[in-house]
Every structure is written in C-alpha cells, then in structure tokens.
Structure 1
Amino acid sequence: MTLLACYGGSFDPVHLGHLAIARAVRDRLGAEVVLVPAADPPHKTHTHADAEARAAMLELAIAGEPGMRVDRRELHREGPSYTIDTLRLIRAEQGPQRAIAWVVGGDSLLRLDSWHRWRELFAHGHVLAVERPGTPLDPSTVERLAVTVYRGIEFRRRAATALADSPAGGYAVLALPELRAESSTEVRRRIATGEDWPSLVPAAVAAHIRQHGLYAGGPGSGSAASL
C-alpha cells in the first residue's frame, strides 16, 4: 500500500524548500503527501500570518502537484496542535494497515523529546526525518546532540524505502543534500527589509503575499492581515 506521508508545520509562509521536501518524499518514496498546517504550534511563540492565510498559501503552492493535498484539520481544533492527536485521528481514518509517516526536519528531530507524548507517535506511524544541508542526522551526531531522542529512535531505524512495508513503528532518514537553505524566517526578514524574497517562494505564493500585504510589519510583528 502507498505510504501516506504527513508533513506538518507552520508554513509561515510556505517556501521552495518546503515544496522540495514534499516533492522528494513523494517521488523517492512513491508516497502520497499531506501537508498539515498548524493552527497553534506549541513549540513556537506565535505565527505571523493567520492560519487561514497560511493554508491558502499552501493550496496555491501545491496547485497542479499530483499526489499532494492540504489537510486543514488542525486549523479547526481548539487548543495546541499536538502532533500525536493529529496522527491518532489520521490512523483511525486510514485503518490499521496503512503505512503512515510523519515528516520532520532535522532540527525538529533533535527536539523530538520536547513534543507532547512523543514516544506514542510510533504506535500510530513512522517518523521520517529530512536531513538538510548543515543538519547531519548520522547516529553519532544525534546521540551527541540529543541522547534521549537517540535512545528512543535508533533501534527503530530502517531504510526510508522500507517504511511502506509496515504501518508504524519505524524511523528513517531521507537525505536531501541538494536542498537549498530557504527558511520562513528568512522570507519574512527579506520582505521586511525590502530585499529579494520572491525567488524563495512559489510565484503564486509571492503574488498572494503582495496582494494581501502579508509580513509587511517584519519578522516579529505578530499576525498579518486576515483574508
């Protein structure tokens, strides 16, 4: 059965790096990719554009991309957007046999032990970590930087291509050495300072940001204009 890869995040805003990760997971693993924008990320102080604006930009970014869709369920749930709650709901909908993976960046993997009930994630799906340039995820580095995480995941390690062979319980790394270093923080900074930023985001997203005046107040300005 096709792997269902759930890629969560603030996407504030979605940029070409996000899109490259989603495409790589889809193309290399033959996965169906679901992008899950967070309404209230518990590990960040706030977002800068409101939830509906971020979800709308995601829809624009993946328009015409086969095998990708946006799941807005966290936008309509009260309280913090805990990954374990979302993953449990997706598992209940997909049934016990569907292979499901939650996609995280390397920096998030190293903080996985700060996530709410993080060990329970493996009862409902796999964890797929994306190794970006400058964030090595070899076992020795993970052990050195996050020993609790290392002890909770290393024995679960398998090849990324093997995640589709079982419903849950695994951990894999997908290396993307060619991935550019875009970040939402850098996009917002460039918008605020008037530097080149449209080259970092899909064209339709750039047009949407301009149209609605998003992020014009700078990286620390709080929520942007609502749609």
Structure 2
Amino acid sequence: MGILGGSFDPIHVGHLALGRAACEALRLDRLLVIPTGESWQKTGKGAARTSAADRLAMVRIALDSRPQGDSPCRWEVDGIEVDREGPSYTVDTLRALRRRFGETAALVLLLGSDQMHNLPTWHRWEELLDLAHIAATQRERIPLHGLPPAVESLMAERGRDALPDAPAGNIVLFRMPPVAVSATALREQLARGEMPRELLPPGVPEYIASRSLYRA
C-alpha cells in the first residue's frame, strides 16, 4: 500500500504523475493520498494558502476525475491528518495507519528527492522505517545524491533494488517521468489571475474559481 502525503496546495499533474509511476514501478495495489492538516514544516511564507477542507476537496475532485484504467492500483483520499488536531507529523500518521491495517501490511511512504534532502528535519524521522518502507524518486531537478550524511548512511544500510516481502524497513528508488510543475509557481500564476488548466486535474480549476482561491 502506497502513501502519498503533501499539502496539495493545490494538487497538480505532477502529484498524479508521481502516484502513477509509483503504482506501476512498485506494483502497489492501493494508494492513499493524504493531505496535510496543520503542517509543522511550512510556516510563514511556506504555510498553506488554503484551508485543509479546500485542499481535501481538491484532492477528492482530482482523484474522481482520473480516467478509468489510468493506474494499476486503487487510489483513495484519506483525511486522517485533516481530521487530527495539532501538527501533522508523518510518524504519527504512519503509526495510526499501522494500527488500522495491522502489523503485517506492507506500507510504502512515497517521497520526492526534495523531501529526502529535508528528511533529518522531520519529527522523529529515524522511526519512519520502523513503520513503513520508503520509496523515493527524483522531482523538479533535485537529484537523489548529495543527500545529508545521515540519509546517505541509511540508504547504504537499508537500500534495496526492489521492495522485499516485508511490512517495513527498507528504501527503494523508482523513476517518474519529468513534469515541469511546482505548487509554488502555480500559486503565483493563480495570484496573477491566470488559470493554468493544463497543470491542474480536471475539475480543480473550476473549484478554485468558484471559491476565489489563491487570489492576491
């Protein structure tokens, strides 16, 4: 089971491309898409520009609009972090999912290369592999090398060519097609009154317009 978390502010075609690539490369049967509630990392200028409810709604729309047969695994929206009070720590989310699905279920946390570079700043990040596998991919021209020493060491110790038959504990890499899009650039375009429909899943532009989101 794959786990794709993020602020999704807004969700865009790059997020969907990452999910599709992971489902295919890792042979996942299910993908949980989990919008953050109160992000502990993104504060100030990096804070979410829209409410958790709006971001959750946009993710639902994006997943509902996906063409049939678009991906080999079943995609589901999960509001676990939106519904939980307090900061959205990934380690807490994984613990809750582990309780929900049991000790033998294979959980795979999907991370982009930007997140791998920031991993040592995450709350109790050393515990993540006790709860899930990590599958990482390169995103937005950020390489998967030159990582912090602690992450490089962990990859050397736990890195595998493919996911083993185990519930957690390993790191694998997978490829996704390059997609030139970022949520930051999207928000800037939207703030200028532009609507880059080609970068947003069907239905999301209409939701943004109806709610007057991201306007300067």
TM over 0.5: yes
- The aligned counterpart of 1:199 is 198
Partners of 1:21 and 1:145 lie apart in 2 by 20
Structure 2 equivalent of residue 224 of structure 1: none
Equivalent runs, 1:35-50 vs 2, <5 Å: 35-45=33-43, 46-50=47-51
Matches within 5 A, 1:40-189: 40-45=38-43, 46-63=47-64, 65=66, 67-137=74-144, 141=145, 144-159=146-161, 162-163=162-163, 165-176=165-176, 178-189=177-188
Q: Give 1:149's aligned amino acid.
A: V
Structure 2 residue identity aligned to 1:6: I
User: 1:181 Cα shift?
Assistant: 1.9
SS at 2:203 equivalent:
helix
- How many residue pairs were aligned? 206
Uncovered stretches (5+) of structure 1, i.e. residues with no partner? 218-227
Query: 8 Å contact 1:119–1:152 — kept in the other structure?
Result: no
Which structure 1 residue ranges, 4+ long, deviate > 3 Å from structure 2? none
**Distance in 2 (alpha carbons) for counterparts of 1:191 and 1:199:** 13
In 2, Cα distance between the equivalents of 1:67 and 1:179?
23
For residues 125-164 of structure 1, the C-alpha deviation after alignment (integer angstroms, 9 at most, x for no partner) is: 0111121251221xxx2xx3411221223211112xx325
What secondary structure is seen at the aligned counterpart in 2 of 1:163?
coil
The alignment yields a C-alpha RMSD, in angstroms, of 1.5
The alignment's TM-score, normalised by the length of structure 1, stands at 0.86
Contact 1:99 1:164 in 2 (8 A): no
SS of the aligned residue for 1:116 comes to coil
